[in-house]
Amino acid sequence: MRRPPYLLFAWTLALAACGPAAAPAPTTAPAAPTTAAGQPTTAPAAAPTAAAKPTTAPAAPAPTIAPTAAGKPAAGGRGQGGQLKILYWQAPTILNTHLAQGTKDYDAGRLVLEPLASSGPDGKPVPNLAVEIPTVDNGGVSKDQKTITWKLKPGVKWSDGTPFTADDVVFTWQYVADPKVAATDTQIADGVTNVEAKDPNTVVVTFKDPNPYPYQIFVSGLGNIIQKKQFQDFMGEKAKDAPGNLAPIGTGPYKVVDFKPGDVVTYTVNENYRDANKPYFKDVQIKGGGDATSAARAVFQTGEVDYAWNLQVEQQVLNQLQQGGKANLMTALSPNVERLLINFADPNSDTGGARAEPTTKHPFFSDLNVRKAFAMAVDRKSIGEQLYGPAGQASCNIVTSPPDVVSKNTDSMDVCKYDIEGANKLLDQAGWAKGADGIREKGGVRMHVVYQTTVNPLRQKEQDIVKSGWEKLGVEVELKSVDAGVFFSSDAGNPDTAAHFYTDVEMFTNGASSPDQTQYVALWTTDQIVSKDTQWHGNNYHRWSNPDYDAIYNQLRTETDEAKRRDLIIKANDLLVSQVVVIPMVARTQPTDGISKAIQGDVPNPWDSVLWNVADWVKTGG
């Protein structure tokens, strides 16, 4: 999963099972922002009339979890709980979340790195490193909504024992905003003209225009603060080489002991953590590898792990595994959507090193009628009902939450109807004729597509259903499955990552990291286009550029009228769907994780990392 972040969930944030996060625009952020100036670009915004309250976005539906088994909580106290075992079948590959490409990386980094505030289960900011959430009422947000002042908790230390100060917050902005760093969450700096340390415990963020959602930066997994001392010598193109990418110094409850990218991360208690009674567990292990089915077995049946993430398992199989009785299944309504991404660039030609570069055009997906035909041959209903059950339902919207921004216009769109006959007619009209072998051709080009996703039994069944529909159109479909650790990695040299998108179609899950959708809408803007020049960091994997869409986003960033904001989000959704930039398939519940019945304190959160409050987790005793 990517969240976006997203992150990819992607996280993510994000964060596919989850995918990408958020990326740089080659020329939008300041080349070298300072504490006094600079002008990063692509940013999120959010709820309607923001700022009088921590957030004005509609609250998310309450997450649910089966009651924990009766049991007496184990004695509290820092490090009294032994080891917490967490299984992510998509293994983390990097711990600096600003360079992360998938939810797995955002979550693994979140035990160490923290934002000023988390996004809570209802979507409202919850203080971490901040004393309180700034609002207009308490004077933290200016009445013109152009500045937000964060008061930092005094006495907070980094895990190396040095003081955490406002300078670290300013540096984090400079780092994310530097286009040469190629951060994956650069859009959080969009419209920020200055971040200033007024004193060691006060940070003032200034926006170019009134910002209806001033919490766009330094909040949730996209807003994690990194230590200036550790990263200041690794700015620009050197960012990818920083040792801190694999072992960041943080303010969170844990610190890294050992990290084998693509395999396992081991953490121990951060003895400098600000709460003397937390965290409860002495050590944490996040193990990667295997698949979603084996992860479900490990938490529900054998009890080998305490927590198993992203159980994207066929519903019938998951029901059987749950009978093991050792864990509860957590679900919460979410904004996450399993989708097909259409490549607008040419992934097949490498002339002059231009493979899938935005300067190229796809040989047939550049035709809207062809894209429409492909969308009309996707049987969303079968995928939702047969494979996901209660864990997801068929959807043709890419924005699925909160309810007031979900478009009803897509109900009547032809591209949202499963219509093989109509799809064939579109391809006939577009001049793609079937050859003797039944495969369509035009101008010497054969309609052959490579369709990739992660290795996952459920995903492979999804591929089979989609392939069947496309073959009914006379399309030759080649399926490709990539290990999730590779697919969602930030390895600029690996051609099989989701960001490279060296295939015609790819599939993963992603969703918004806030009830406000501005950050999410930003992911398809021209500034977010991925390319070799951006070191394959970015969120617009499609290489799609549309001035009308960019205009919708730019208006959304500054619009304060609630009704107009809703309309803009719906317009963005409808343009993405009608132009078949993306083919939404299933609106998923998230998280769909397994947690031991002995674990207490976990609070499901559809808007932030599932490990957002791991410092509060404890284990029941006898």
Residue-range domains of the chain with CATH: 337-588 (3.10.105.10)
Measure the CA–CA gap between 179 and 300, rounded to whole angstroms.
45
Residue 554 main-chain phi, psi, to 5 deg = -65, -35
Alpha helix ranges (H) inside 217-278: 228-231
Q: Which residue did the predictor score with more confidence, 334 or 192?
A: 192
CA angle 129, 135, 138 (to 5 degrees): 95
Q: Which two tokens stand for residue 616?
A: 């509060």
**Residue 177 belongs to what H/E stretch?**
helix 166-177
Residue 2 pLDDT: 43
In this prediction the pTM is 0.73
pLDDT of residue 591: 56
- Stretch 386-414: mean pLDDT: 93
Q: What is the pLDDT of residue 621?
A: 67
User: According to DSSP H, which parts of 523-603 are helical?
Assistant: 547-558, 562-578
DSSP letter (8 states) at residue 386: I
pLDDT score at 350: 82
Question: Can you give the pLDDT at residue 604?
Answer: 87
Based on its alpha-carbon atoms, the radius of gyration of the chain, rounded to whole angstroms, reads 23
Q: String of b and e for 210-225 (b: at least 16 CB within 10 Å)? A: bbbbbbbbbbbbbbbb
When comparing pLDDT for 314 and 381, which is higher?
Answer: 381
Percent helix, strand and coil across the chain, each to the nearest 5:
30, 20, 50
First-residue to last-residue Cα distance in the chain: 36
Rounded to an integer, the average pLDDT of 384-395 is 90
Show the tokens assigned to 598.
Answer: 């002995």
pLDDT tens digits along 207-253:
999 999 999 999 998 999 999 999 999 999 999 999 999 999 999 99
pLDDT at residue 605 greater than cutoff 60? yes
Q: Would you state the pLDDT for residue 28?
A: 31
pLDDT tens per residue across span 130-166: 999 999 999 999 999 999 999 999 999 999 999 999 9
Give yes or no for residue 76 having a pLDDT over 90. Answer: no
Q: What is the chain's mean pLDDT, rounded?
A: 87
Tokens 């089979």, residue located? 464
Token pair recorded at residue 250? 């943080």
Cis geometry, peptide bond prior to residue 279 (ω within 30 degrees of 0): yes
Minimal CA–CA distance to 402: which of 153, 72, 46, 129? 46
Mean pLDDT of 50-75: 40
Measure the CA–CA gap between 183 and 568, rounded to whole angstroms.
27
pLDDT tens-digit profile of 18-45?
A: 554 433 232 333 333 333 222 222 233 3
Query: How does pLDDT run across 262-319, given as a tens digit for each residue?
Result: 999 999 999 999 999 999 999 999 999 888 999 999 999 999 999 999 888 888 898 8
pLDDT of 3 > 50? The answer is no
pLDDT at residue 71 is higher than 90: no
| Contacting residues for 593 by C-beta, under 8 A, at least 6 apart | 307, 308, 309, 310, 311, 329, 330, 610
SS3 call for 491: coil
* Mean pLDDT across 40-68: 35
Question: Which are the contacts of 578, defined by CB distance < 8 A and separation ≥ 6?
Answer: 413, 415
pLDDT, residue 24, reads: 29
**H/E element, 510:** strand 505-510
pLDDT for position 68: 38
DSSP state of 381: H
Residue 248 sits at the vertex; the CA angle it makes with 245 and 251, to the nearest 5 degrees, is 150
Beta strands in 270-424 (DSSP E): 283-288, 307-308, 327-331, 337-342, 392-394
Lowest mean per-residue pLDDT among 37-41, 342-346, 503-507: 37-41
For residue 323, pLDDT over 80 is answered with yes
Beta bridge partners of 195: 205
Judge whether residue 514 has pLDDT over 70: yes
Whether the predicted pLDDT of 493 surpasses 60: yes
Asked if the model's pLDDT at residue 5 lies above 90, the reply is no
Give DSSP secondary structure letters for 282-320.
SEEEEEE-S-HHHHHHHHHTS---SEE------HHHHHH
- Residue 39: the pLDDT is 29
d(CA 10, CA 22): 8
CA distances from 485 to 23, 102, 494, 607 (A): 19, 9, 11, 23
Closest CA to 113 of 153, 164, 149: 164
State residue 535's pLDDT score. Answer: 87
Do the beta carbons of residue 558 and residue 358 sit within 8 Å? no
